[in-house]
Homo-oligomer: A and B are copies of this chain.
Amino acid sequence: MKALVYHGPNKKSWEEKPKPNITHPADAIVKIVKTTICGTDLHILKGDVPEVVDGRILGHEGVGVIEEVGASVGNFKKGDHVLISCITSCGKCSYCKQGMYSHCENGGWILGHLIDGTQAEYVRIPYADNSLYLIPPGADEEALVMLSDILPTGFECGVLNGQIKPGDTVAIVGSGPVGLAALLTAQFYSPAEIIMIDLDDNRLAVAKTFGATQTVNSRQENAIKVVMELTGNKGVDAAIEAVGIPATFELCEQIIAPGGRIANIGVHGKSAELHLETLWSRNISITTRLVDTVTVPMLLRTVQSHKLKPNQLITHHFKLSEVVKAYDTFQHADREKALKVIMTNQ
């Protein structure tokens, strides 16, 4: 089969690889129908994720069709259409039993990382019963690719941890794909205001069409000042960090209201300064989370009932065999006004 293979920093190629086989009774082999590229894939390509070895097939998102299942798989059979979670869950370690699949002792984020991934014609999914989700008949399968990673990430790390409630004032710092996923799913809870903060006017314009009530270009305006004015000098009930650098996290510290919640989504490479000298008495919470994808069934129901329209996040389409071109587009997201790109295995 063909697959996108990593060969060390800045080296990848679309090349022939052996089709995967069942190696454990809980495995399934899935024929990829559609897949996408994640910001994390770009990090890997830069060499930032040293666990990824030469020869690894990239990708941890996608939808497909079951090709074969191991002897203990009970939820799926050949021909079933399935959504692949970016998180592999064994369902039987202490973390999985608590719904913290991200820390699964036998899985977690392994696809396209520690084992071969989804940017390929076929992929082996360990613990298939707990790591795949049946796609309901008639669903828009392309839209569901957004449920592999980005939507549960925005929802679990940002919205659930931010405890968004009806009437809340929310700031989302970062209007990239993950920030926008938080924006879309925050609206499940009917907050009064969602203030979107970014450096890019185009992304802020997108946020406006996705339901942001206010946008702030923090290159042009003092974001703290604007938020304080909008909130009667109180700050926001929830601040969602969707960038991953100290400056944006520290901005959240400065705009949070007493009693508020700072929900971090960003993947950080450095420490940030925590201003306990002011925050110690402000009754706030700060949360971090690697997506567990435990809300995928809930998100599937919101898609089926048209409360969530994930295809809003899709801007570009390619054939799977054009994956290298797709990476180029995604790597120049600003120039290309790209959010998520879809690659179809034809």
Contact = CB atoms under 8 A, between A and B. Distances in A.
Given A25-B71, A276-B288, A284-B287, A92 B91 contact: yes
A116 to B, nearest CB: 21
Nearest to A192: B305
B75 A72 contact: no
A284 to B, nearest CB: 5
A269 interface: yes
Given A91-B130, A258-B100, A273-B273, A192 B302 contact: yes
Interface stretch (A140-148, A260-268, A317-325): A260-268
Interface string A286-306: 111110101001111110110
A137 interface: no
A274 interface: yes
A279 to B, nearest CB: 5
A266 B288 contact: no
Contacts of A272: 273-274, 276
Contact of A103 (B102, B283, B287): B283
Interface string A1-38: 00000000000000000000000111000000000000
Interface residues of A, number: 78
Nearest to A131: B92
Interface centre among A106, A188, A304 (most CB of B within 10 A): A188
B277 A288 contact: no
Contacts of A281: 102, 267, 288-290
B264 A280 contact: yes
A133 to B, nearest CB: 10
B103 A259 contact: yes
A95, A270, A285, A300 — most chain B CB neighbours (10 Å): A285
Contacts of A279: 288
A172 B312 CA distance: 32
A249 interface: yes
A167 B93 CA distance: 18
A264 to B, nearest CB: 6
Interface string A99-132: 1101100100000000000000000000001100
B301 A192 contact: yes
Nearest 3 pairs between A and B by C-beta? A167-B301, A192-B305, A268-B276
